[in-house]
């Protein structure tokens, strides 16, 4: 019986190797792939959205979004300003990039192409990667926006009052995971007294609701801080005994936070020179007692008065005969014992704790004055937290800085 034989060719020996090379990274087990991608620099991940639909779907997968958000370090969000006009361009800065001044990979640019009554808008604050935007004239909140996914939610119009002053903030309830916008409306009554009213809007609903209860003067709210499901601000009215007021997003009530026990009457008298913020996940008070330095008090255990600690004493350059006082707003702790701050609401500086020196911080592609806040980018979809007719998706293309 004849048997047929076939000589092995070069093609036969290459076939398994060629098949191995054709395997896609997307064929890795889902958990391993998510673990790898979530550790990459943000701009690398963000650019993968444009590779193909499969990559885009992976990045928008809820499991990846949650894994990435849990691992990603705090970044910086910048909004250029000029003559009090706020740009529609937003810049996200990856602070893990060593050379921020020369490395274009440190920057991702977003263009917020929204409709506002004026040509300018401001970022009210950030919460879990979502931004609250208001117009720059009346300061009415208009949108909740995720620049990473391009999704945004229209905020319904609140009750309009003539000659009123509006302050708003955005936060999340730790227990129910509901996202809410609080709106404080101040106006003069017929008795010529100033009165504050409070309204709340829950994302996914249709209307604002009135909040009962009274609260102290908003005072230092422009530098207020959202932490642990509550908005905090310094009460600058000297007639009020409270030092720090809070609005709780969960129970929609007001309460107070006690200041450090070391604070006396001289601290109360200069409350207008203080600000609040969040540093390293803790509430802090920035106190400016003299022109040559300021103190940063940190509440290391939230709600416990005894945990207030004077963590940093920052020596500042003295500017003589100007009649002006410099202000510094701490944003984030950096490596090598440095603190990133916003100086006079227009420029970034870093302070070296060991050397006691300031350094101007330049960002690639950003030349003008800026507003800056800490920002944690998120691929989490707004669809999971705000269903309804108010949810829309803005078709944005990634605009990386060049």
CATH classification at residue 171: 2.120.10.80
Number of neighbouring beta carbons within 10 Å of residue 348: 21
Residue 89, phi-psi category: left (phi > 0), alpha (psi -120 to 50), beta (remainder): beta
Tell me the whole-structure pTM to 2 decimals: 0.86
Confidence class of residue 307 from pLDDT cuts 50, 70 and 90? very high
Give the whole-angstrom CA distance, residue 152 versus residue 150: 7
Phi, psi of 267 (to 5 degrees): -70, -40
Which residues fall within 8 angstroms of residue 205, CB to CB, at 6 or more apart? 388
Residue 306 has a pLDDT of 95
Confidence of residue 23 (pLDDT cuts 50, 70, 90): low
Number of domain units in the chain: 1
68 versus 192: which is more confidently predicted? 68
Residue 1 lies in a domain: no
- The domain of 91 spans 73-393
User: Is there a domain that residue 32 lies in?
Assistant: no
Q: With 70 as the cut, is the pLDDT of residue 53 above it? A: yes
What is the spatial distance between Cα 217 and Cα 238, in angstroms, rounded to a whole number? 10
Q: What is the CA radius of gyration of the chain?
A: 25
Tokens of 68: 């990435």
Q: What is the pLDDT of residue 218?
A: 66
- Whether residue 109 contacts residue 90, with contact meaning beta carbons closer than 8 Å, is answered with yes
The answer to whether position 361 is within a domain reads: yes
Nearest to 287 by CA among 351, 361, 111, 277: 277
| pLDDT score, position 374 | 95
Task: Say what the pLDDT of residue 321 is.
Answer: 47
How far apart (Å, rounded) are the C-alpha atoms in residues 243 and 20?
66
pLDDT confidence of residue 400: 46
Q: Would residue 13 count as lying in a domain?
A: no
Q: Which residue has the higher pLDDT, 321 or 152?
A: 152
Question: Which tens digit of pLDDT belongs to each residue from 91-133?
Answer: 999 998 888 877 778 889 998 877 777 778 899 999 999 999 9
Contact between residue 100 and residue 88 where contact means Cβ atoms under 8 Å apart: no
Report, as an integer, the average pLDDT of 323-347. Answer: 86
- Beta carbons of 380 and 88 less than 8 angstroms apart: no
Where does the pLDDT of residue 56 fall: very low under 50, low under 70, confident under 90, or very high at 90 and above? confident
Cα–Cα dist 279/309, whole Å: 13
231 in a structural domain: yes
Considering only 144-148, 192-196, 271-275, which range has the smallest mean pLDDT? Answer: 192-196
pLDDT value at 290 more than 60 = yes
- List the 357-360 sheet strands across, edge first: 328-334, 338-343, 347-352, 357-360
> How confident is the model over 177-201, as a mean pLDDT?
84
What mean pLDDT comes out for the span 29-45?
88
Tokens of 383: 């669809």
Residue 137 clears pLDDT 80, i.e. is over it: no
Q: Is the predicted pLDDT of residue 216 greater than 90, yes or no?
A: no
* Coil vs helix vs strand at 42: helix
**Percentage of the chain modeled with pLDDT above 90:** 35
Residue 162 lies in a domain: yes
- Please answer whether residues 313 and 329 qualify as being in contact, where contact means their C-beta atoms are separated by less than 8 angstroms: no
When pLDDT is averaged across residues 378-398 and rounded to a whole number, the result is 69
Helix (H) or strand (E) holding 349: strand 347-352
User: Quick check: is 4 in a domain?
Assistant: no
Q: Residue 393 belongs to what H/E stretch?
A: strand 391-393
Look at residue 164 and tell me if it is in a domain. yes
State residue 335's pLDDT score. 81
């Amino acid at each position: 019986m004849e048997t047929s034989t076939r000589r092995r060719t070069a093609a036969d020996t290459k076939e398994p190797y060629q098949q191995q090379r054709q395997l896609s990274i997307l064929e890795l087990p889902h958990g391993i792939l998510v673990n790898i991608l979530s550790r990459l620099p943000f701009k690398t991940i963000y650019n993968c959205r444009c590779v193909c639909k499969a990559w885009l779907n992976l990045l928008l997968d809820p499991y990846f979004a949650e894994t990435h958000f849990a691992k990603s370090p705090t970044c910086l969000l910048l909004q250029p300003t000029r003559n009090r006009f706020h740009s529609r361009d937003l810049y996200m800065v990856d602070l893990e990039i060593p050379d921020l001044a020369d490395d274009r990979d440190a920057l991702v640019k977003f263009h917020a192409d929204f409709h506002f009554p004026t040509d300018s808008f401001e970022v009210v604050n950030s919460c879990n990667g979502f931004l609250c935007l208001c117009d720059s004239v009346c300061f009415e909140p208009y949108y909740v926006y995720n620049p990473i996914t391009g999704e945004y939610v229209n905020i319904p119009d609140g009750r309009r009052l003539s000659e009123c002053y509006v302050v708003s903030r955005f936060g999340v309830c730790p227990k129910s995971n509901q996202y809410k916008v609080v709106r404080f409306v101040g106006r003069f009554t017929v008795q010529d007294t100033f009165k504050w009213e409070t309204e709340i809007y829950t994302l996914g609903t249709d209307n604002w609701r009135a909040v009962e209860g009274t609260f102290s003067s908003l005072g230092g709210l422009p530098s207020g801080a959202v932490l642990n499901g509550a908005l905090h601000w310094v009460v600058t009215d000297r007639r009020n005994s409270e030092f720090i007021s809070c609005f709780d997003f969960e129970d929609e009530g007001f309460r107070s936070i006690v200041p450090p026990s070391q604070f006396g009457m001289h601290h109360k008298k200069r409350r207008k020179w203080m600000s609040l913020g969040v540093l390293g996940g803790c509430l802090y008070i920035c106190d400016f007692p003299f022109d040559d330095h300021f103190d940063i008090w940190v509440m290391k255990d939230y709600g416990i008065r005894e945990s207030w600690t004077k963590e940093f004493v920052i020596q500042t350059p003295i500017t003589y005969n100007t009649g002006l006082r410099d202000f510094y707003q701490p944003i984030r702790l950096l490596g090598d014992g440095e603190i990133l701050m916003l100086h006079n609401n227009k420029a970034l500086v870093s302070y070296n704790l060991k050397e006691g020196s300031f350094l101007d911080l330049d960002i690639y592609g950003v030349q003008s004055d800026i507003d800056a806040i800490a920002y944690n980018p998120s691929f989490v979809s707004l669809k999971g937290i705000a269903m309804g007719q108010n949810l829309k998706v803005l078709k944005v293309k990634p605009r990386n800085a060049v």
